[in-house]
Amino acid sequence: MTNGHGQHPEQSYAGETGDSIEYADQRRGYGIHPWKLTRSGLLPDDVAASETLFTLSNGHFGMRGSLEEGEPRVVPGTYINGFYEQRPLPHAESGYGFPESGETVVNVTDGKLIRLFVGDSPFDLRYGTTHSHERALDLRTGTLDRSTEWTSPNGQSVRVTSRRLVSFVHRSLAAIEYEVEALDDNVYLAIYSDLLANEQNATASSDPRDAAVLDRPLKSEDSGARGQQAVLLHRTRRSKLRMAAGMDHVLEVPQGAETTIEAGGDLARYTVTAQLPKGSKLRMIKYLSYGWSHRRSTPALRDQVEAALAVGKLIGWDELLEKQRAYLDEFWQHADVEIDGDPGLQQAIRVSMFHVLQCSARAEGQGLGAKGLSGIGYDGHTFWDADLFALPMLTYTKPSAARDHLLWRRNTLPEARARAAELGLAGAAFPWRTITGKECSGYWPAGTAAFHVNSAVANATARYVAATGDREFDAGAGTELLTETARLWMSLGHFDGAFHIDGVTGPDEYTAIVDDNLYTNVMAQANLTEAADACERNPGTASELRVTAEEIAEWRKAAAAMAIPYDEKLGVHAQSEDFTKRDEWDFEDTADEFYPLLLHYPYFQIYRKQVIKQADLALAMQLRGDLFTPEQKARNFAYYEARTVRDSSLSAATQAVLAAETGHLDLAYDYWAEVALVDLGDLHGNVDDGLHIASMGGSWQVAACGFGGMRDHGGVISFAPRLPHALDRLRFRIRSEDRVVEVQVTRTGQEQTATYRLIEGESFATTHHGQPVELSGSDAVELAVPAVPQVEPVTQPARREPTRRRPQR
């Protein structure tokens, strides 16, 4: 029997009788399709959001989904991973150890521009008559497609189609196919295909999530044009980084055309003028290439870009498309998540996975930004959430991309060691936010004091080594990362019977500078143990790092004695020492418009109360679930659920995973929708600034770790799958060393069945709800899913419960 919302009484939660609001995926107007994100028409208020959601990138560079014609637009950004400008980082009062300069991603030369004039009228959908306008991000072809029929103010009609790609296979290449068809006779056209630098793309803001505004950060160094090709070269004014952008063209016109090419300063332009008879088409292929360096000379960069353009033209448009499709076919074959029962959620999780892949596939030496390469939010910085929310998906589906990010972490160890020394600590202190590895956070309670960043790097490292068996990485970068992060904990903590880590900020940024944050402690505990194991596996590397047997013994001693706060009276673990004794926040009298709290209340008030920005102890129970009993997890989850306001997009994914594990399956399903639709529905009101890449990685985690029940403790993978009532089937695959394992959960009436299959590899051992499972060959193992245990309802802070999800099938 259900309670009228498709929710069984034993899995209910407060707010279940409230009216559901219109779904974000329907409200935003994006069509629901299993393999595409589509948008019809042009809404002025949605331009910036569409630019973000239609971003194409490959990890090296990215292009927001602005229209080729350049107008209307909000932020037409193009970004190169690792390319930044320095800026002063002012402090109201200076202090020792405060970072003095920041780093901000640069909107580099825009190569998407193909301005079209029909007669004397610019092609602009805000004028004339738009008969149809459709755009689609195709998740299988990796292209952004557009088709528009339009009549200009002077009465001439055209059909404009375009297809854009940023190549996964050829790292420096992008290409645009642009076609104009005359729907009337004797249509005169002019096309300006541009490279344009120093576009203004941001205004000053008081929101700390927004980027700093850079005023013309690029200084022209050289330019050149010949035939149908042009190159612009620029250098940043403070960071002294050089970049080059180049374009080349292939033109098809039925009756010929007049063309010119020019370049200088911030603009290069290829001009085409032509007359089209009715029914005929002008077709242009525009090839683009981007490169940057802090070492190479201007001529070397120019040669690199011109060579990439030559390769692109030699390959040709059709083969670029074929290679893009083949790359994605291979990815989806091993990574796809399938669900039955919610088409909107099916689309959303694939969109999420596609964007995580896009920002990481060819990063090669650079980190994963919080916004990927889709916008200027957070200045383009990388945070700890890349390691804990995006990397798990990549580790089990695209391990080469996870490896690249971890190698970037290893390459920034000199900066992390220097930061630790500046703070009077040993080992390495990885930054809260950065592009190059230097700390860029000027607010030390939520930045410098958040030493749990180290544990995120260590967790991602240990997970990658266990999941891939990459011995080369383990013996080199892996052991070095684990060693230097472990050394920080030993210098930061102290023994007093137990091992304590005081004066830190955990994942919950609303609780700062506390003693024995449970999450930090248990993650440091794992870090210390993993470092000891790695050094014993790789004695040669340990010797190079001057690790002694005595140091390893101290690591193990500290791990065994780690303080884990617990409130005996309440019967729950304390998020930090004495957290449960603090005053409660007045949720009832906090109006909706005062969230997020950090924009409406002083930190002094927030830090003193039991109010949680994002899942903290719940994240500890997900990642260190081996430390907690099922009963402890249930009690802890209920206690902290009632105090978590989800002012961070990181929170809902963790809450979904723990809700699923503790038996609140429909609550987990509602949280999953919130995670997957955070950008499609603009749930945090800032999708204009870029995608929430960590949340998108979290969407995969809800599938695999939430409803798939996957855990990887100590390198041992286990499963405990269960479906919510709204879904009939879930299927996903993971990579483990040289194996690919498929997990499928299906519902038949009230019964659920899990099927495990080995797709690649010789054998795989795991467990299903604690029951041993041995997979070999192609034979599937089918097992019944145990019934959900009876659980008490949980509550959220007043008016902070997730929106109820009612999919239309």
Q: Which two tokens stand for residue 307?
A: 């060579």
Q: How many CA atoms lie within 13 A of 149 on its CB side?
A: 4
If you count them, how many residues does the chain have? 809
Q: Rounded distance, CA 477 to CA 112, Å? A: 38
Do you find a cis peptide bond into 596, omega within 30 degrees of 0? yes
Q: Rounded distance, CA 281 to CA 168, Å? A: 29
Q: How many CA atoms lie within 13 A of 360 on its CB side?
A: 35
Q: Rounded distance, CA 449 to CA 507, Å? A: 11
Q: Rounded distance, CA 330 to CA 336, Å? A: 10
Q: Show contacts of 293-302: CB within 8 Å, 24+ apart.
A: 293/241, 293/242, 294/239, 294/240, 294/241, 294/242, 296/242, 297/242, 298/221, 298/222, 298/233, 298/242, 298/244, 301/233, 301/242, 301/243, 301/244, 302/222, 302/224, 302/231, 302/233, 302/244, 302/246
For helices 479-492 and 452-468, angle between their N-to-C axes, nearest 10 degrees? 150
Whether residue 384 is annotated as binding a ligand: the answer is: yes
Q: Rounded distance, CA 208 to CA 373, Å? A: 19
The phi, psi pair for 398, rounded to 5°, reads: -140, 70
Q: Which two tokens stand for residue 547?
A: 């690790």
What percent helix, strand, coil does the chain show, rounded to 5? 35, 25, 40
Based on the residue annotation, tell me whether 10 is a catalytic residue of this protein.
no
Q: Rounded distance, CA 629 to CA 632, Å? A: 5
Beta strand 61-63 with 56-57 is antiparallel
Query: If DSSP states are collapsed to H, E and C, what string results for 292-304?
Result: EECCCCHHHHHHH
| Alpha-carbon separation of residue 717 from 103, 627, 764, 766, 784 (angstroms) | 39, 16, 10, 6, 19
**What is the 8-class DSSP label of residue 580?**
G
Q: Whole-angstrom distance between the N-terminal and C-terminal Cα of the chain?
A: 21
Q: Rounded distance, CA 672 to CA 7, Å? A: 15
Q: Which two tokens stand for residue 662?
A: 């503790």
H-helix or E-strand spanning residue 765: strand 763-768
Distant-in-sequence, close-in-space partners of 472: CB < 8 Å, separation ≥ 6: none
- Give per-residue burial for 659-670: e unless 16+ CB within 10 Å, then b: bbbbbbbbbbbb
Q: Calculate Rg over the CA atoms of the chain.
A: 27
Q: Which two tokens stand for residue 69?
A: 């014609």
Q: Rounded distance, CA 453 to CA 420, Å? A: 13
Point out the catalytic residue in the list 509, 530, 641, 674: 509
Whether residue 613 is annotated as binding a ligand: the answer is: yes
Whether residue 614 is annotated as binding a ligand: the answer is: yes
Among candidate residues 232, 240, 198, the one with its CA nearest the CA of residue 218? 198
The phi, psi pair for 313, rounded to 5°, reads: -65, -35
| Alpha-carbon separation of residue 99 from 82, 112, 690 (angstroms) | 19, 36, 25
Q: Rounded distance, CA 662 to CA 634, Å? A: 6
CB-CB contact of 582 with 610 (8 Å): yes
Specify binding-site residues.
Answer: 384-385, 613-614
Specify binding-site residues for substrate.
Answer: 384-385, 613-614
Residues tagged active-site? 509
